Amino acid sequence: MRETEPFGVTDQPRFLNQVVTGRWTGTPRELLAAAKAAERRAGRTPGRRWGPRVADADILFFDDRVVDEDDLRIPHPGIRERRFVLEPLVELAPDLRHPVDRRTVKELLADILPP
């Protein structure tokens, strides 16, 4: 788990971020429903976009699938710009490839790290 500066809305407390991997036998849509249910169980309530929240679960990748729906986009559209996501992801799976551009997450992280 990492404590990081808030993303999006910066006038709020620091965030705790964590990346996890797992296996899922259902569909991406079913995983999204399970993630949203877990957020609610953790105490998340509706609030402003990128504002303070108790929990926020995002689906970064789902195997090599690409999903582009109104409320579900996989791979996560912001992954290339989010160091707080890429750093722990590289620790878990540095050779994981983005299903669209086929670059590894290690390469994506190198793009946003200072030289």
pLDDT tens-digit profile of 14-45? 999 999 999 999 999 999 999 999 999 999 99
23 catalytically annotated = no
Residue 58 near residue 73, CB atoms below 8 Å: no
Q: What is the mean pLDDT of residues 1-20?
A: 90
CB atoms within 10 A of CB 86: 23
* pLDDT (tens digit per residue) in 46-77: 888 878 888 999 999 999 999 999 999 999 99
CATH number at residue 103: 3.30.70.560
- For 12, the domain range is 2-112
> What pLDDT is attached to residue 101?
94
Residue 44 annotated in active site: yes
What CA–CA distance (Å, rounded) separates 7 from 33? 24
Give the pLDDT band of residue 98 (cuts 50, 70, 90): very high
111 noted as active-site residue: no
Could you give the number of structural domains in the chain?
A: 1
- Left (φ > 0), alpha (ψ -120 to 50) or beta: where does 40 sit? alpha
